[in-house]
Amino acid sequence: MVELIKPRRLSPGDTVGITAPASLVDTEQVKEASTILEKMGLHVRLGDTLTMQHGYLAGTDEARAAEMNAMFADPAIKAIICARGGYGTGRIANLLDYDLIRANPKIFWGYSDITFLHAAIGRFAGLVTFHGPMLIDLGKEDLHPLTVQNYETLLHPSVLRYTEEISPLQTLVEGEAFGPIIGGNLSLIVSTLGTPYELDTRGKLLLIEDIDEEPYRLDRMLNQLRHAGKFADAAGILICDFHNCVPNKRKVSFTLEEIFSEHIVSAGKPTLSGFKIGHCSPNIAVPLGIGARMSTYEKLLACTEPGVEA
Q: Tell me the catalytic residues.
A: 112, 209, 279
Please enumerate in sequence order all residues whose Cβ is within 8 A of that of 305, keeping only pairs 6 or more positions apart, or say none.
159, 290, 291
Query: DSSP letter string over 188-238?
Result: HHHHTTTSTT----TT-EEEEEEES--HHHHHHHHHHHHHTTHHHH-SEEE
Instruction: Give strand pairing partners of 18.
Output: 46, 81
Spatial contact of 9 and 41, defined as CB atoms under 8 Å apart: no
Instruction: Give strand pairing partners of 228.
Output: none
Helix (H, G, I), strand (E, B) or coil at 56: coil
Please state, in angstroms and rounded to a whole number, the distance separating the CA atoms of residues 291 and 306.
10
Positive/negative CA dihedral, 242, 248, 249, 253? positive
Question: Taking Cα atoms as reference points, which of 267, 284, 174 lies closest to residue 225?
Answer: 267
Burial label, 160 (beta-carbon count in 10 A; 0-12, 13-18, 19+): buried
Helix (H, G, I), strand (E, B) or coil at 137: helix
Please enumerate in sequence order all residues whose Cβ is within 8 A of that of 229, keeping only pairs 6 or more positions apart, or say none.
none
22-61 burial, b for 16+ CB within 10 Å, e for fewer?
A: bbbbeeebbeebbebbeebebbbebbebbebeeeebbbbb
Please state, in angstroms and rounded to a whole number, the distance separating the CA atoms of residues 210 and 278.
7
Terminal CA-to-CA distance of the chain, rounded, Å?
Answer: 25
